[in-house]
Each structure stands twice: as structure tokens, then as C-alpha cells.
Chains A and B, each alone.
Chain A
Amino acid sequence: MDMSQFFTTNDYFSIIPAVMLALFGCAILLFDFLIFPDPRQRKYLLIFVVLAEGFTGFSLFRQTSWLAAQNVPDLSGFGGSITVDGFSIFFNWLFLIAALIVAVVSYKYLENAGEHHGEYYALVLFAQSGMYFLAAGTDLITLYIGLELMALCFYILVGFLRSDKRSNEAALKYLILGAFSSGFLVYGFSILYGLCGSTKLADIAGAIAQRPAWDPMVFLALTTTSVGLLFKISAAPFHMWAPDAYEGAPTTITAYLSVASKAASIAFLLRIFLGPFASARETWEPLLTLIAVLTLTIGNLAALNQTNIKRLLAYSSVSHAGFMLLGLIAGNETGIKGIAVYIMVYTFMNLGALLVVVALRRANIIGEELDDMAGLVHKSPGYAFLMLIFLLSLAGIPPTAGFLGKFYIFESLIETRHYVLAAVASLYAAVAIYYYFKIVRSMFIREAPENEPALATTFPLRIALGVSLAATLVIGLYPQPFLEIAKSSLLVR
């Protein structure tokens, strides 16, 4: 029998990055037992991670050049279940950067926490391959499987500190709420399938466009699907898991969760809302507007009183989700490009901020409270200034990269005449400075406690921080090439 009927070169080419990640993930599980029996050698497993990301990056690069050589906007595999386009490649680069950075900085942190195991790296890679399908999937089943693959890995990773109660609690909360939201999502998907008779996003888009505005069944599908999606990007009122999960998880995983998982969920959200639901805009625009304002309000106001840095950053990431939703509400080219720019700069600045928190975890200090940052500038001025730049960027102060993200979102709101939303969002951008500067105040103005051990830095951590810093500053000062990259990611419809 001729296999090519079922499996073509295109099919293979469209999923090769995910295959690479999965294979290397399996290799790590295998080699962990076979050749690295000594726990101290486990950091050599990073070789596999680096190789995996190398091959993935190479495959992504080949996909880009293939698209350019053929001069086509996208390549679909598996009968339209997977679509490789500028959008998927752009997001996958973000996942790759986040996963690589998180993996290489983890070993010292995990050793300090006494939980350095090989499967950690495997799970990071598996999660990333799930993300691949979230960014490239154009079929409800593919997307759902990608989502669950990613989420399951994260449930385990959040609870990776087995002896830590907070970590266990966080994992359980995340699991239960996550399963619940997946339930909603699948319910919505099943209605979509019932309405349209297909699981392909393109077919669904066509079928929904035929239906009248405010069709009750479309509305039902829309709301239930949105619950699942909004949960994943931690938009209010579905954000409750985020502060607990971010706080309990190992800080490296907090970074991974807040950056890569969020980027993947945003990609998923854009695929659904700009695909099948594009024609139902007048139905979901008011809904999302409400959600976005609520997200900004809760994210920013709840962050004001936090004393734990990870919780604070969790609420701040809720508020960033609100900003990105605003870009979708505006919905014009500037808005969608704005989301891409925003998520790109968010990746670097949020990774950077959390990496500094990673370095705070020393021998017997958890290092996650604002008090642990007190007087950081006296002991480790370099880290204090790094953190300052990341926080300024998170707050959107020029000339850091974060400003550019906010710039595009505001501009898109103005262009689509959402003046009130723009004013509300800009005032929340000002509110945010208060809680980001609580950290700055702690680092720069308060006095340091006596006899604190030095920060736990490693060579990879310093490299990772350097990369994040360079990206945050370069994107802020000379954004031209990065804007072109973001532009290449626009979903062509």
C-alpha cells in the first residue's frame, strides 16, 4: 500500500519541529537512567535540550525559507489540521527562546531546592511541542491535543517541588481549575462541530459566517470556548489559578508558565477569534471589552498589595493579558501586530524579571518576598539594575521595549475610536508603576539585612539575563527589525 496517500512530505515538514522536541524529550528520559546515574551529572542533560532546540530552530528556519522560496503564505499539513505560516513560526521562536532560557538556568535552582531530576527537562520539551500545535494547529482536535499536552506537562512542573506544600497545592489548584476550563473548551468545540459539521477552522469560519448575528448557538459556542481560552491566558475572572500557581511553582517554571504558556494561549486565542469567530465580531467584542477592563482592573489593583514578588508578577501578568486583549478588541492590523509585538517584548522582560528572582533562591533562602530584595543594590548592584530595567519595561516606560508594546495597543485603540478604553488602559498603565516600584523601592532604598549569602548565579543564568537585557533594550531603542519580524506574523485572512 502506498503510504504517501496518508502521509506526505508536506505533512512531515509541517510538524518536524514538534517531532524533534518530542524525540529529544524521550531521549532525555532514557539517558537520565542509562548514562547519568549520578545526580550531579544531571546538568549534562542540558546538552540534549540545547540540541533539541538547535534542531527545532533549524527546522523553523527551514520552514521560513521554504515559505519564502515557494512564495506562498502558508503550508498546510495533514489535510489542513496544521498550518505553518509566519504566525506559527513567530510564536514558535518565542517558545524556543523561553524554553531554552528556562532550561539552562534551572539546574542550580533545582539543586538548591533538592529536586533536580531528569524528567524536568523532558517535560519542558514536551510542553514546548504541545505549544507548537497551539500555534500551528488549525483544527479543533489538533489544538485541543496541543493544549492538553502543554497543560499536563505544566501540571507536573508546577508541582515539581514535591516536598514543598505550596508547590503541591499550586499544582492541584491548577490541575482542577485547568481541567474544568478544558471541559468548557471542549463543550464549546463540540457545539462548533455540531453547528458546522467539521473540525477544520476554515470550514467552521465559513459556516459561522452564514449564520445571522447573535445566533444563540454561535453565542453559546463562543462563550464556552472563550471561558477555556481566557482561563489559559489568565484573564479575569478566570485568573484565580495564576497567583497560586505562579507562587507555588519553582520560579523557573513560573517564568516558563508566564511567558511560553501565555504566548501559546494567546496564539490559540488569535487562531480561534480571528478564524472561526471573525464574522461574529459584534457578538464577542462587547464581551471581550468587559473581560479586558475587568482583567486590567483586577490585575492592577490586586497587585498593589502583594508582598510576594511572584504573586505580584502573577497579577502583573494578568494585567498584561488585559492589554493584549485590547489589541484583539481593536482588531485592526495595528492591534494584531501590537499583540505580536507585545508578546515578544513581554517574553523577554518577564523572563528577565523572573530570572532575577531565580537568582535570589540561595542555600536556605526562598528569596521570593519583597523583603528578600531589600538593599539588593548594595550587595549585587548589577542584578538590581537589571531588575530595574525589566520592571521599567514591564511598566512600559520608554526607551525600554515594554513601551513599544503599549504604544501599539494604545495606537490601535485610538485608530478604532475606542477612546474611553484607551484612557482606562493608560491610567492602569500608570497605576502599574506603583507596584513595580514597590520592588524598586525594596531593592534601592531599603537597607540590606546583615550577613546574607551572595546570590546563586551560574554562567548560564548570567548569559540568559544578558540576552533578556539586550533584547529589552535593543527592542526599545532600535525596534525596526523586530517590528518587521512581528509584521511577518500577521494572520493573513
Chain B
Amino acid sequence: MDQHLLSIILLTPLAGLAVLLFLPGKNKDLIRIWANLVGFGGFLISLPLVSRFQAGKPGYQFEESVDWIPALGAHYHIGMDGISLLLIMLTTLMGSIAILCSWNAIQERVKEYYAMFLLLQVGMIGVFLSLDFFLFYVFWELVLVPMYFIIGVWGGPRKLYAAIKFFLYTLAGSVLMLLGILTLYFQHHQQFGFYTFEIAELMKLNLPLGLQQWVFWAFFIGFAIKVPMFPFHTWLPDAHVEAPTAGSVILAAVLLKMGTYGFLRFSLPLLPKASMDQKIVQILAILSIIGIIYGALVSLMQADWKKLIAYSSVSHLGFCTLGIFSMNPNGIAGSVLQQINHGISTGMLFLVIGIIYERRHTRAISEYGGLAHVMPKFAIIFAIAMLSSAGLPLLNGFVGEFTILQGAFEANPIWAAFAVTGVILGAAYLLWLYQRTMLGQVTNGKNLTLHDMSAREVALFVPLIAWSIWIGVYPKPYFDVLRQPVSEIVQRVRPGYYSGPVQNASIPTVPSNGGAR
């Protein structure tokens, strides 16, 4: 079973989808139950990965490789390392939570809705598992279609605009990325005499810096739009605001990570010279810092609850990319962990919005106030979600941000100085949001009759809160899992790093409190 575990994880949602198509469309509850079983089953099946994964083992684990299109040199080659392990676990968990949270929210065209979600799940898992560029691209594009429908059919008033904007932006980025992929593919044929899309084979390429830079920028467009990095972020607030709750959750928690994952898995190892090019690193770090501060400032100004969280994603993802382009173990490990943290925290925040939106059908912050009196359970959960996002020590966000800042400081103290302001602003807009919506007296009469969260709704948060505390209190296992893949990336980009004079390369097992703030 071990040698096919990844295929099973990948195909579970697809098999569920196939069965779903034959269920009677009128029986909505049956469809819901089945979709939830598949979603939860997908999570359970991915659990053995955690116990069987051997941290510290070099290379990929659970690999599977079959020839797919010999004429093109494309393979069905999947496998995982520590980075993909964490992202896969995030995907399967958030996928099942997103499916569960749609139970009441979606009443129209239920069957199509869940079908799209399961298809999306296949695409996302595939992206994180592919070790063949052709296969990766197929999954990368496969994600677009269901997400278009989730936003476009079940979204808010401006759903048409938001859906097509999402599709056009990401597609424009990915076709340019395709050109970069094809350049590497062709260069490999030039140098080795055969065509292949295998990442491992493409890593053997020896390319001049100039060409690497071109390919890097082609990849950059594709990945930066997905992340999204400033100034390619403009699709994100629209998509988030219009998408249904589950769509926002999965978009924030998993879809955006495809971009950062792309940088880590492809840009850095395949184009090491370009990735270490001072000019490129400078530009990307500056864009990340602009993203951090700009996202936070724009969040401060939002009157729409959901848009505020959407812009906060821009800010948080700025940390992730800053960590990557610090190009040292702390920065990269922190970035991966922060990706998971952002998935958990922002996922929770979008769930929070979904719960209140189902009751009041408005997202204007000014409509709320003093909700803590009416919905105490809700207030506690929102507080935890908010604090984990703001980076309170002992919750997950802190660990990630701290490690990233440590890495950024090592690379360039000025970067860290600017990025820290993002942490402060982040605390500001989140606390202010909490204050305006939850604290004080109930100002709006409509809010007096709101009922508190149901058991199902609480159940959505339990695993996420538990995970968030686990990372916050004891992040060692995460760093253990990440050490090997991160050191491989660093080794690849900066060959002499570990033997050089800089000896602070060890990843902190538990970050010491204080210092960052």
C-alpha cells in the first residue's frame, strides 16, 4: 500500500466525484453526506503519511513513476518531501472542512457544487505531489476551472466579474510560466539529447545566467500572480469577496500556497543562479515588503469584513515570499510554516465571516458591534482565530513570522525592520476589527436575536484551533520535517552555505520569546 499511497490520496476525491455524479440530484442531503464522507475520507487516508514519513531522509518519499506520454517525455511521477507533506495535510484537512462548512450555505445546485469541490481537491493535491513538470502544469490548470465555477455560480453579486478576473489573471500567468517550462524542456534536449519533463532531470541542466533570468521571470509571473505578490494581487480581493465561504477558505488556505510552493519547488532549485542574482533577490524582497505593508495598510481602511481579511492575505503572503527570498534555512522553513499557519488562521477567519454572513447576510463592519454579548462561543473562537493570525506567542502565527524575520534579518536587517512593521499593523487591523465587531454594546438591533454557533459550526474550528496551538507550543516536529528539504534547497541555491563562515544555519527548535516584537 505504501508504494501507491500518494495515488490513493490523489484519486480518492476523483473516485468520490465519479460516484457523486450518479447520485440523484434531488436528494440534496444524500449528496451532502456523500461529499462530506469523501472529504473526510480523503483526510483520513492522508493521515498515514504523517506516521510513515521519515523526516531527515534525503530526496522524495512514497515516489511513484510511470511513463505517461513517451513521445513528449512526460511521466506520471509523484512523490513528496517535507514541504509537500505539510501542504498535503493542509489541503486534505481544509478540503474536508470547506466541504463541511457548505452544508447550509449552499442550497442551489448542490450536486454541481460538491462535484466542483472534489475536482478542485484533485487538482490541488496533484499540484503538491507532481514531480514532473507536464503533470504539474496539468494539475495547475485543472484547479482553475472548478474555482471559476465556485466563484461564478455560487458567489456574491459581482461574481461574474470576480470569477473571470480570477481566471484571466491566473491563466495569463500560467501560460507565460508554460513558456519558461518549455524553455527548460528544450534546453534539456539540447544538452542531453532527449526530451523530459522530470524535475530531477531538469535540475541537471547547466544554464547561463542570462537564460536563467528569463526563465525565472516567466516562472515568477505565473507564481507571483497565484501567491499573489504585489502588484499582481488585484484579483484576490474580488475573488475572496465574491466567493462563497468555502471557496474563500480553500482559496486562502490552499490555492495561494500553490504559488509559494512553485517558487520553492521549481524556481529556486531549477534556476539557482538566477535565484541568487542580487538584483532579482532585491526586487522580490522589496515587492514582498511592499506587499506586507501595503496589504496591512489597505486592511486597516476596509469597511467590508471579508475584504479586510482578503487584504490581510496579501500581507501575510508577503511574509512567506520574503522568507523564501531570504535564501537561508530560517527564512525558507519559516516561510513553509507560515504558509501552513496562514492556511489555518485565515481559513478560520473566513469561516468566522461565513458563520456571521449566514445569519445577517451582510459583511459591512459597521452593521456589527457588541456581538460578544449575543454570541459568546463565537466571540471566543473568533478571538483565537484573530490572535493566531496576528501572531500571538503560543499560537501558530508567531512561530512562522518569528522564523521568517530571523531569516530576513540574517539576509538583510533592513528587510526585517520593514517587515516588522507589518506584524504591528497586522495586530492593529485585526484587533480593531475585533473591537468594532465584537466588543462594546450591541448597537444594531438586528444583532440582538442572533443565535450562537451550532455544534457543527464549532466542529469546523476544533481541529484548526488544536493545530494552531500545537504549532504554537511545540513546532519542533514541523522544523524536523522541514530541515532536510529546506537544506536541499539552500544547498542548491547557495552551494557553500553550510560550510561557510556563517554558522547560524541551524533551525531553532523552539523560538525564544521576545526579540521580534
A→B interface (CB under 8 Å): 377, 392, 397-399, 403, 407, 410-411, 414-415, 419, 422-423, 426-427, 429-431, 433-434, 437, 441, 444-445, 478-480, 483-484, 487
Contacts and interface: CB of A to CB of B under 8 A. Distances in A.
Contacts of B434: none
Contact of A434 (B68, B69, B168): B168
Interface string B432-458: 000000000000000000000000000
B179 A437 contact: no
Nearest to B111: A381
A414 B182 contact: yes
A445 B153 contact: yes
Interface of B: 68-72, 112, 137-138, 141-142, 144-145, 148-149, 152-153, 159-160, 164, 167-168, 171-172, 175-176, 178-179, 182-183, 185-186, 214
Contact of A484 (B71, B149, B185): B71
B69 A426 contact: no
Top 10 closest pairs, chain A to chain B, by CB: A426-B175, A430-B172, A483-B71, A398-B138, A430-B171, A414-B182, A411-B182, A399-B138, A398-B141, A415-B186
A441 B179 contact: no
A423 B148 contact: no
A430 B112 CA distance: 25
A441 B152 contact: yes
Contact of A480 (B70, B144, B179, B182): B70
Contacts of A430: 168, 171-172, 175
A390 to B, nearest CB: 13
B141 A397 contact: yes
Contacts of A392: 145
B172 A437 contact: no
6 contacts: A398-B137, A411-B185, A430-B175, A431-B168, A441-B160, A480-B69
A410 B152 contact: no
Contacts of B172: 427, 430
A407 B179 CA distance: 9
Contacts of A407: 72, 178, 182
Contacts of B185: 411
A437 B183 contact: no
B164 A434 contact: yes
A403 B137 CA distance: 11
Given A398-B141, A483-B72, 19 more contacts: A397-B171, A398-B137, A403-B138, A403-B141, A410-B179, A410-B182, A411-B185, A419-B214, A422-B179, A426-B178, A426-B179, A427-B172, A430-B171, A434-B164, A437-B164, A441-B164, A445-B152, A479-B69, A483-B71
Contact of A444 (B141, B149, B183, B186): B149
A484 B70 CA distance: 10
Nearest to A441: B160
A407 B70 CA distance: 15
Contacts of B179: 410, 414, 419, 422-423, 426
B69 A483 contact: yes
Contact of B178 (A410, A437, A487): A410
Given A398-B142, A480-B69, A444 B152 contact: yes
Given A411-B185, A479-B69, A480-B70, A427 B138 contact: no
A427 B145 contact: no
A335 to B, nearest CB: 13
A270 to B, nearest CB: 21
Contacts of A445: 152-153, 159-160
Nearest to A378: B109
A168 B418 CA distance: 70
A407 B168 CA distance: 19
Contacts of A444: 149, 152-153
B71 A399 contact: no
A38 B214 CA distance: 68
A491 to B, nearest CB: 19
Contacts of A414: 179, 182-183, 186
Nearest to A392: B145
Contacts of A437: 148, 164, 167
Most chain B CB neighbours (cut-off 10 Å) among A403, A480, A483:
A480
Contacts of A427: 172, 175-176
A399 B148 contact: no
Contacts of B167: 433, 437
B362 to A, nearest CB: 23
A433 B148 CA distance: 12
Nearest to A483: B71
Contact of A433 (B68, B71, B159, B171): B171
Nearest to A426: B175
B399 to A, nearest CB: 37
Nearest to B71: A483
A97 B178 CA distance: 32
Nearest to A334: B186
Contacts of B178: 407, 410, 426
